[in-house]
Chains A and B, each alone.
Chain A
Amino acid sequence: MTSFIIQRLLQTIVVLFLVTIMVFTVMHMVPGNPILVLLGPSATKEQIALYTAQFGLDKPVLVQYFSWVSNVLQGDFGESIIFRQDIGELIATRLPITVFVGGLAYIISVVTGMTAGVIAAVKRGGFIDSLITITANLGMATPIFWLGILGIYLFSLQLGWLPVQGFTWLTVDLSKGIKQLIMPVLLLSTVPLAMITRQTRSAMLEVIQQDYIRTGRSKGLKEKVIIIKHALRNALIPVITLLGIQLGNLVGGSVLVEQVFNIPGMGTLLVQSMLQKDFLIVQSCVLIIATVVALCNLAVDIAYGFIDPRIRYK
């Protein structure tokens, strides 16, 4: 198991290194120049040259790449061209918001999804099963932005129950914060919730037919014990794979939802910087998101080992 973890860690490092190359190359290949965006159309050639030199953009691309990577390794993300602010600080205010909103959505979708999946599997073929399955299918099929617009129209504009947009930390204003959170979190969790429900249901259905479940029944165990202790733990193995994948999808979802609800997280920062060609920020954001996702996937792999002794003792 230890050698397995070390192996996966090394793989993660290689992946992150490839990510730096890719994001750097892409950002330098797209047309546009942050200096031009910063100075506006009236800038003179001298001004442009001065700023370009100041941000080191006149150096060869390879030198730029290596100085960026070596700075990042030392914890220095550089300075934003547009915001004129240290990127590290910028991210430090933005990342917690995204992690909070995304994490909340993730927890909701995992807990609700698995519960709904187990219930559907146990009540297979019944009314509750049909209800859960149909809802899950709807959740997967509905475009999130459409659902978002619908939600804003209905709950904010027509009924006036929820604010249209914004983000407030719960410590600052609890009731306002919760109201602002409801729609983004629900929207963000819709797709993962639906997929986890379906995956749990089918994994459970398969496990319930296994011989060891019959063994459990033949021992006279309570049905609750059989489902939770015996079946669910085995069914978790395929579900956990999906949890890893969903984490990646959640990042994409965050970008969208933060835009729609104007939440000052990593997603809005990323989009804004991309439009303004502030590539140092884009590079840093992508790298940080990639690190978070890679670490979470590592955690998923380690979780396999905890759940399935056959992997642990290999």
Chain B
Amino acid sequence: MEHLLEVKNLKTQFGIDGTTVKAVDGVSYYVDEGEVVAFVGESGSGKSVTQYSGLQLIPSPPGKIAGGEIIYEGENLLDFGPRSEKMREIRGGKIGVIFQEPMTSLNPVMTVGNQISEAIMQHLNLKKREAKNRAIELLKTVGIPDAEHRVDYYPHQFSGGMRQRIMIAMTLSCDPKLLIADEATTALDVTTQAQILELMKDVVKRTHTSLVMVTHNLGIVARYADRVYVMYAGEIVESGPTKEIFNNPKHPYTLGLLKAVPRLDSSKDSKLVPIDGMMPDLSNKQDQCAFQPRCNHYTDHCLSSPSPQLKPVDEGQKHLYACYENINKNLFEEKLKKKSSIQEQEEESLYKTELTEEKDTILEVKNLKIYFPVKKGLMKRKIGDVKAVDDVSFKIKKGETLGLVGESGCGKTTVARSILRLYETIDGEISFKGQDIANMSKKDLRFLRKNMSMIFQDPYSSLDPRKTVESIVGEPLKNHKLVKTQKEYQKRISELLSLVGLDPTVKDRVPHEFSGGQRQRIGIARALASDPSIIVCDEAISALDVSIQAQIINLMKELQAKLGLTFLFIAHDLAAVRHISDRIAVMYLGKIVEIGDWRTLYENPQHPYTKALLNAVPIPDPLVEEERDRIIIEGEVPSLLSRPKGCPFSNRCPLASAECLDVEPALKSIETNHEVACIKV
């Protein structure tokens, strides 16, 4: 059978600083009509570059396609130049791309209608009026309410989820045969992500379009893809039908990835197994297995042989893998056990998350309210409040981790900031070790700053690029006068760096010499420097790749056990939060809607929002996914300015009744350690 798209031995290279980076190195794949194909891999694996190469959208220079064939409908697209008539016909007309960042992928100074009609006029030869009508139709199809009016809106007048819908409408505008979704839902909230993915699935099914999904999220792959290509260091290392790949992974990298992802449904609170090391530098790639340095199963043969080629698992099977060894799940786990058996025994006790003894409360927040005034007009008159945090109360005990989850705009970061007293005035009580800090004077706050620290989301922008590791980590030591002599200072820095798993000799280097995971370790070392009793982690792992994420989660757990740290862990990734937290609070529109210990909350969620959130998270196992009920909640998180009157969730809740629109429910206890704010419970 002829494939819709077939790529043979594609090589894409970037010339950077005189070296050649082999971003895509001999990749071959195909896409059939009506098929959903997923490309998975971590950042830098070449999965996006592969897709852009096919459309000749690689920025050139420095990029260039060094070889290969891209056959679409019997023609090799590489025979045509990137700006040729033919290529422009294919782009948008035959193959559409949905990009990752809905916030930046639309032109901010053009109405969305014009941006959609532009493509229609280009490919379908329609008049302006007809194109606009078609644009309105498309906007309706992708679920934009009031499309007749909104067609004349500008991108900034839409939310992220809405923009991604517009992006989809734009790609669909000329009836393409193939859609490429490049991390299309990565930047979106969990419930929006589920909506967009369902929308894409429906569209693809209805129009019999093929879909290529590029993603790092194995859950999405398990839920939606028919076939999978796993990429590592610019090569495909494993490919096959989704179920085959998840049930019987053969390549050590695929096996490693599956072990490193925190799962919502893992039976016990197991330790995540990170893949040690990091992706090799692709600028001086040798003809050798690229995964070997991070592999637990390599033999001498791997070291002396050229890069392994894809071969079928069994004769005639569609499941291919590129490895000299014959590994499977059991062998992989045995080796892992052997490798860490000694460590494991020592650490086992660390991962028992049940709190057996009553511990002291270290931090208590009572009726916290953070309102920001809204001003309008010439005189900047106050016309109302944005209630970012509205009457939030919770306690954190010494040595425990409280997870704070919710979608963007729910107020979780505002809570964190007010605990650190980053706002001038705070309404409510925050007591830390029995001291009221909500009204503490600036002078007394120094004590607080020493005892509380923060780990930030983005390891790239939260470290001063001009400072050495030593001065970054050492700053709190100097600031709080925690060391007396230079010798003591140096000793403490070496200590801190070893604690987070970095070699102390790196202290003279600057942040850009480190990878994302290593930078986050530096950030953690800085947070630990003043020996704080509580650390606020604001999305501390969400910018990291899966294998690195596991390293950092494990590190944080180890540190907690060793140093008796207390964490307030803020995140939107429910699986990761579940993995690290003892108790979890779910926030929605500035309020806590449900709070409980992790087991109760995940196994017996009561609030409809919590249920919807958990349901929206795909689990990286196609068999489990097949059996799950899918309830996709409608709508998006409303703006804080247009908060529904009664229960904040009432306008999206499937259970909502007239009463819910009136009465604002308070948190009530339904069992030990489990409170819910819903009148239906």
Contacts and interface: CB of A to CB of B under 8 A. Distances in A.
Interface in B134-182: 154, 156-157, 167, 170
Contact of B92 (A7, A209, A219, A310): A219
A6 B378 CA distance: 9
B55 interface: yes
Contacts of A216: 107
The residue in B104, B107, B170 that gathers the most chain A C-beta atoms within 10 A of its C-beta is B107
Contacts of B109: 233-234, 307-309
Nearest to A230: B107
B91 interface: yes
B49 to A, nearest CB: 13
The residue in A3, A212, A214, A222 that gathers the most chain B C-beta atoms within 10 A of its C-beta is A212
Contacts of A230: 107, 110
Given A3-B377, A309-B156, A313-B157, A217 B107 contact: no
A191 to B, nearest CB: 29
Interface stretch (B95-103, B573-581, B653-661, B673-681): B95-103
Interface in A227-255: 229-230, 233-234
Contacts of A313: 154, 156-157
B104 A212 contact: yes
Given A309-B108, A310-B108, A313-B157, A220 B122 contact: yes
A221 B119 contact: yes
Contact of B61 (A125, A214, A220, A223): A125
B382 interface: no
Given A212-B104, A212-B108, A310-B156, A217 B57 contact: yes
B305 to A, nearest CB: 39
A208 B119 CA distance: 19
A221 B107 contact: no
A212 B106 contact: yes
The residue in B92, B106, B123, B377 that gathers the most chain A C-beta atoms within 10 A of its C-beta is B92
Nearest to A312: B154
Contacts of B119: 219-221
A59 to B, nearest CB: 39
B122 A223 contact: no
A212 B378 contact: no
A211 B102 CA distance: 9
Given A211-B99, A214-B57, A230-B110, A219 B118 contact: yes
A211 B55 contact: no
For chain A, give the interface size range. Answer: 20 to 34
Given A214-B57, A310-B154, A219 B122 contact: yes
Contact of A215 (B88, B105, B156): B105
A221 to B, nearest CB: 6
A3 B61 CA distance: 47
A220 B90 contact: yes
Nearest to A208: B59
A159 B518 CA distance: 69
Contacts of B377: 3
Interface residues of B, number: 34
Interface string B102-128: 001111111000000011001100000
Nearest to A213: B107
A310 B109 CA distance: 8
B93 interface: yes
A220 B99 contact: no
Interface in B27-63: 55, 57, 59, 61
B89 interface: yes
B154 A214 contact: no
A210 interface: yes
A230 B105 CA distance: 12
A219 B107 CA distance: 13
A6 B377 CA distance: 11
A233 B106 CA distance: 14
A212 B55 CA distance: 16
B83 interface: yes
Contacts of A211: 99, 101, 104-105
A106 to B, nearest CB: 24
A209 B118 CA distance: 20
A3 B91 contact: no
The residue in A216, A223, A234 that gathers the most chain B C-beta atoms within 10 A of its C-beta is A216
A214 B119 CA distance: 13
Nearest to B93: A220
A218 interface: yes
Given A211-B105, A234-B108, A234-B109, A218 B57 contact: yes
A222 B377 CA distance: 43
Contact of B154 (A125, A215, A309): A309
A234 B156 CA distance: 14
Contacts of A212: 104-108
A209 B105 CA distance: 11
Contacts of A7: 378
Contacts of B156: 309-310, 313
A247 B104 CA distance: 33
8 contacts: A214-B57, A214-B105, A215-B106, A218-B91, A220-B87, A220-B89, A221-B118, A309-B156
Given A218-B96, A220-B123, 9 more contacts: A211-B104, A212-B107, A214-B57, A215-B106, A218-B55, A218-B97, A218-B99, A219-B170, A234-B109
Q: Which 6 A-B pairs have the closest CB atoms?
A: A220-B92, A220-B91, A219-B92, A220-B88, A211-B104, A309-B154
